[in-house]
Amino acid sequence: MLGSEARDLAIKWLKNPNSLNRGMVRHVLAAAAFEGDRDLFDQFRAAALETKDQEERQTLLLTMGSFRSPDIAQLALQELVKNDFDLRLSSAVLSGNMATYRETRRMPFEFIQAHFDELIAKAPSFGDLDFGAVLPFTAQNFCSAQEEQEVNAFFGPRIGKLTGGPRNLAQTLERIRACTARKAKQEASLTTF
């Protein structure tokens, strides 16, 4: 019920951006994307291509990265290597919710692994931070020692020359370690329960 209401509100917003309170737009669009289908994704993408408002475009790209369907999440990730949007904008799909869903949690990291060199070649710098330096954050929701090793093995040799990269990798690895420790601590009581 909430999903269909969010979808209806999102479609109204696509037709009239004043139909929703600005503070609610991202929440409503994310709720619509949670169970959204390919048709809704295509509507968001078309609107992102059409709008001249940069904030609106970024919101739409962020929403495109919030679909729970693996097939649709893959479409969103493809925006990073297409040339329809500037990478500074299309990278918003990495900040969507797909990295928090069980079905799509690993997809951003795996996409980065497959396309790292291509992304770095077209990656802009943001003043004192290189775009590639934020890529370790795609794995910040991982929660096992094995995943920590995988992230370190991939980014460790690649991120050192990117301004801000080593710090972001260290923060991501620390977050994974903290989650792993929390999980181990709670596992015994959950098993007992």
SS3 53: coil
Each residue's pLDDT tens digit, 81-94? 998 888 888 889 99
Instruction: List Cβ neighbours of 144 (8 Å cut-off, separation of 6 or more).
Output: 176, 180, 183
> Per DSSP, what are the bridge partners of residue 11?
none
pLDDT of residue 193: 59
Each residue's pLDDT tens digit, 58-76? 999 999 999 999 999 999 9
Which of the four pLDDT bands, split at 50, 70 and 90, describes residue 98? very high
Rounded Cα distance between 56 and 78, Å, is: 20
Rounded Cα distance between 74 and 14, Å, is: 23
Phi, psi of 125 (to 5 degrees): -105, 145
pLDDT of residue 83: 85
pLDDT of residue 77: 96
27: amino acid identity, one letter: H
Each residue's pLDDT tens digit, 107-161? 999 999 999 999 998 876 666 668 889 999 999 999 999 999 999 999 999 999 8
Each residue's pLDDT tens digit, 122-134? 876 666 668 889 9
99-132 in b/e form (b: 16+ CB < 10 A) is bebeebbbbbbebbbeebeebeeebeeeeeebbb
Instruction: List Cβ neighbours of 20 (8 Å cut-off, separation of 6 or more).
Output: 9, 12, 13, 28
In this structure, the number of other CB atoms found within 10 A of the CB of residue 20 comes to 17
Taking the whole predicted model, whether its pTM rises above 0.85 is answered as yes
Each residue's pLDDT tens digit, 160-186? 988 889 999 999 999 999 999 998 888
Q: Using alpha carbons only, what angle is made at residue 46 by residues 41 and 50, rounded to the nearest 5 degrees?
A: 150
Which of the four pLDDT bands, split at 50, 70 and 90, describes residue 189? confident
pLDDT of residue 167: 95
Q: What are the structure tokens assigned to 28, written together?
A: 């409503």
With 80 as the cut, is the pLDDT of residue 2 above it?
no
pLDDT of residue 126: 63
